[in-house]
Amino acid sequence: MAETITYLESLQRALTQVLDEDPTTFIMGEDIGAYGGAFKLTDGFLQKYGENRIIDSPIVETGLVGAAIGAGMAGLKPIVEMQFIDFISCTFNQLTNFAATCHFRWGQNVPIVVRGPSGGGVHAGPFHSQMVESFFLNTPGIKIVVPATVSDVHGMLLGAVADPNPVLFLEQKGLYRTLKEEVDGPPEAVPPGVARIHRSGEKISVITWGAMLHRCSAAAEKAQNDWGISCEILDLRSLCPLDLDAIYETVRKTGKVLVIHEDNLTGGAGSEIAARIGEHCFEDLDAPVRRIAAMDVPIPYAASLEDASLPDENRILEEIRQLSAW
């Protein structure tokens, strides 16, 4: 029977499903057991699954990922929660120098999922608001996914857990309790590397992922209603691997491209996407590829400054108008 649930509730159901279906899965993280997690995502999990599968850890991200790598190599399927994804920087060596290279170096799978609350929208300042995908995009061997919808956060977690090698799973904490959708039973698993057309259109291709999908949707709706500009929105869902076929298909359809993301502009994933489009679809373009991203500043604490630093609906709408007139 169909029911309306939040992004956070959908993620809870996904974690419950993988724990119920596969006894080799377990979750490690700070305060995830007795306290139920910083966002109460794992509330009740300790009582249901026990301390061998819901493991409260000290504040030691390096130890979490190191232990998960060993457990994965021993045949288990660890899911590591970063209390805030910003702290994944502490684990950079384990992830990039070791976990990401194991399969290449000697055929050893490392089936770990490192997940956590990402991005802004809750005015939590520079240590609790980052999007970290660009830190890892240059590391072969790590897959990176960013679910933007209630159904995707469930299906994509199933796909991440099923993957035999490291997956970085970026959850948008600004959507945890604000985004609601009607669902009818559990979705199918979505493996990394599969994009989805969120909105069909003819004039401009808007390529985005994560929470920006919803700001782009609102802007596209207004552009259609006010100016008759038809925008196609491609939700990448996965940044590594990229669904290049889906990207090129929408570019060739419209000839005009706007890439939008929440991470900083300089060195963000949008740079790579724009470069790929320029290299492979140059003759299909009717205008330069344009990008919208966060300012190149640490995320401010003040609500007004955070809002100003991130792409908003009005800025997206203005870029759509300018690109349409090119």
- Residues serving a catalytic function are 128
Specify whether the CB–CB gap between 120 and 262 falls below 8 A.
Answer: yes
**Which of helix, strand or coil describes residue 129?**
coil
Angstrom distances, CA of residue 99 to CA of 72, 73, 159, 167: 10, 10, 19, 10
Distance CA 320, CA 309 (A): 19
Q: Which residues pair with 291 in a beta bridge?
A: 259
Matching residue, tokens 């299906």: 155
| Inter-axis angle of helices 212-227 and 313-324, nearest 10 | 50
Return the amino acid letter for 311: P
Which residue stretches of 50-121 are H helix?
61-73, 92, 102-106
Task: Say if strands 290-294 and 257-264 run parallel, antiparallel, or are unpaired.
Answer: parallel
Specify whether the CB–CB gap between 201 and 251 falls below 8 A.
Answer: no
User: Comparing C-alpha atoms, which of 82, 87, 170, 129 is closest to residue 303?
Assistant: 129
* Angle, alpha carbons 210-213-216 (nearest 5°): 145
